[in-house]
Amino acid sequence: MRIQDFDFYLPPHLIAQHPTPNRVDSRLLFVDAQLQQIKDGMFHHIREQFEAGDVLVLNDTKVIKARLFGQKASGGQIEVMIDRVLSPFEAYAQIRASRSPKAGSRLLLPNGFEAEVLGRQADMFHIRLQGETDLYHFLEQYGELPLPPYISHRADNSDEARYQTVFAKHAGAVAAPTAGLHFDEATLQALVAKGVHVVYVTLHVGAGTFQPVKVENISEHHMHSETYHLPASTIETILTAKAQGKRITAVGTTSLRTLESAAHRQQLFAHHGDTDIFITPGFEFKLVDRLLTNFHLPKSTLMMLVSAFGGYALMRSAYQHAIDQSYRFFSYGDAMLITRAAPKVGECDRVHAMD
């Protein structure tokens, strides 16, 4: 398949720059691959889409203040984006500078702190914070919330509250699991009261989630790796529900990737791991029946994932419908609830005929 197969024109004014006044005020597009149906709705009606015994899977990662500004010891200005914390003092990071720093270089950071560049790992720099203050504490004090590149303003106090889910718990992500941003405490409590099992996974979203696909043939693309934790209680709840014929709804592509990574590796037990799973049309889903997700960037790996989940042709129609109806796109935008159908034989082979 080609990267152009996942391209579409998005009017710039549909890119949401700010969240809705209340988390549950977003619109919700229902996409049913079983019925081949698309319907408009509102997110505050989400509880009506669940029955007792269904499972809702949330990603409880917490966004860290991963963006830092400083300069090289030689004087050049730099922007450091922490991608993955490796230890209390070390991390992989992206560094913007007029010239890339070399191993042994010193980075001058806010409030007199320094970091040393230890080396390079692909497109990431391996850095170590000097002194006795650990990275998480330093970032909380002096870092800035890393809003996505398509949001034009720098993070303020409002973003620090709204670019974080109400159930965020484990620090480590540099981007929010944005489908979870639509939930407030009252909605989650109402689902639990209805008998829905709300369970959690943790996947720390890396900056690589915004990296473009740079190859023509998507089979040649290599996904960035992200760390996750899968609790035993989550797996037990899911397997019991599946045995009872109940539905598993993943909130966000991160939750889905965590579950399907474990299922495809036959690791349906409590564990920590890394995943670089790349989901494209033709992928065989083993656990997730429904996906709640935001609208994704053209030609992105997440656009490929939802095309695999809902079906290529139906998702093209759904995205065009969303554009025609002025849905709000990306992190602060509206959501869709996709119900998947069994894959059709030859669906991937017919992609080019739909151009």
Residue carrying structure tokens 């602060």: 332
Query: Tokens representing 136?
Result: 């998480």
Instruction: Please say if the pLDDT value at position 79 is more than 80.
Output: yes
* pLDDT interval class at 75 (50, 70, 90): confident
Domain check: are 187 and 137 in the same one?
A: no
Other C-beta atoms lying within 10 Å of the C-beta of residue 283: 18
Predicted TM-score (pTM) of the model is: 0.92
Sequence-distant (6+) residues with CB within 8 A of 231 are: 199, 200, 201, 270
Q: What is the CATH classification number for the domain harbouring 123?
A: 2.40.10.240
Q: Which residues pair with 249 in a beta bridge?
A: 56, 290
Establish if 166 belongs to a structural domain.
yes
Look-up: residue for tokens 């035993």? 232
| Domain assignment of residue 210, yes or no | yes
From 81, 111, 142, the end of a domain falls on 142
Specify whether the CB–CB gap between 334 and 327 falls below 8 A: yes
Q: CA nearest 209: which of 274, 271, 296? A: 296
Q: Provide the 10 A C-beta neighbour count for residue 139.
A: 21
Structural domain tally of the chain? 2
C-alpha–C-alpha distance, residues 135 and 223, integer Å: 26
Pairing of strands 290-294, 248-251: parallel
Whole-number average pLDDT of the chain: 93
Do residue 215 and residue 286 come from a single domain? yes
Last residue of a domain, one of 79, 110, 142: 142
Domain of residue 80 covers: 67-142
Q: Which helix (H) or strand (E) holds 162?
A: helix 157-162
Q: Region 263-292: what's the mean pLDDT?
A: 95
Mean pLDDT over 178-197 rounds to 98
- Nearest alpha-carbon partner for 169 in 229, 226, 224: 229
**Statement: residue 277 has pLDDT above 90:** yes
The reported pLDDT for the residue numbered 171 is 95
- When pLDDT is cut at 50, 70 and 90, the band that residue 103 belongs to is very high
Q: What is the pLDDT of residues 229-273, one digit of tens each?
A: 999 999 999 999 999 999 999 999 999 999 999 999 999 999 999
Q: Confidence band (pLDDT; 50, 70, 90) for 206?
A: confident
264 domain residue, yes or no: yes
Give the C-alpha distances (Å, rounded to integers) separating 292 from 114, 197, 259, 289, 299.
41, 16, 14, 10, 20
pLDDT attached to residue 42: 98
Distance (Å, whole) CA 201 – CA 216:
33
Are 185 and 116 within one domain? no
Q: Are residues 334 and 263 in the same domain?
A: yes
- Within 13 Å, how many C-alpha atoms sit on residue 204's CB side? 22
Lowest-confidence range among 78-87, 133-142, 170-179, 339-348? 339-348
Q: Is residue 152 situated within a structural domain?
A: no
Are 247 and 298 within one domain?
yes
Of 142, 169, 195, the residue at which a domain comes to its end is: 142
Which residues is 199 bridged to in the sheet? 57
22 shares its domain with 120 = no
3-state class (DSSP) for residue 64: coil
Question: Are 263 and 116 part of one and the same domain?
Answer: no
Domain assignment present for 228: yes
What was the pLDDT predicted at 283? 95
CATH of the domain at 28: 3.40.1780.10
Helices marked H in 199-339 — which ranges? 232-243, 253-264, 301-310, 312-324
Characterize 206-233 residue by residue with b for buried, 16 or more Cβ atoms within 10 angstroms of its Cβ, and e for exposed: bbbbbeebeeeebeebebbebbbbbbee
Let me know whether 105 and 197 are in one domain.
no
Structure tokens at 202: 């943790």
Residue 44 in domain: yes
The answer to whether residues 56 and 88 belong to one domain is no
Do 119 and 266 lie in one domain? The reply is no
Residue 346 pLDDT greater than 60, yes or no:
no
Mean pLDDT of 81-99: 94
Residue 355 has pLDDT above 90, yes or no: no
Q: What is the mean pLDDT of residues 118-132?
A: 93
Q: Do 341 and 227 belong together in one domain?
A: yes
Q: Is residue 151 part of a domain?
A: no
Same domain, yes or no: 267 and 127: no
Whether the predicted pLDDT of 221 surpasses 80: yes
Residue 159 CA to residue 178 CA, distance in Å, equals: 13
Give a yes or no: residue 219 inside a domain: yes
- State yes or no: pLDDT of 88 exceeds 60: yes
Q: Which pLDDT band holds residue 189 (cuts at 50, 70, 90)?
A: very high
Answer yes or no: are the C-beta atoms of 296 and 234 closer than 8 Å. Answer: no
Please report, rounded to a whole number, the percentage of residues in the chain having pLDDT higher than 70: 96
If we measure between CA atoms, which residue out of 188, 196, 171, 135 comes closest to residue 62?
171
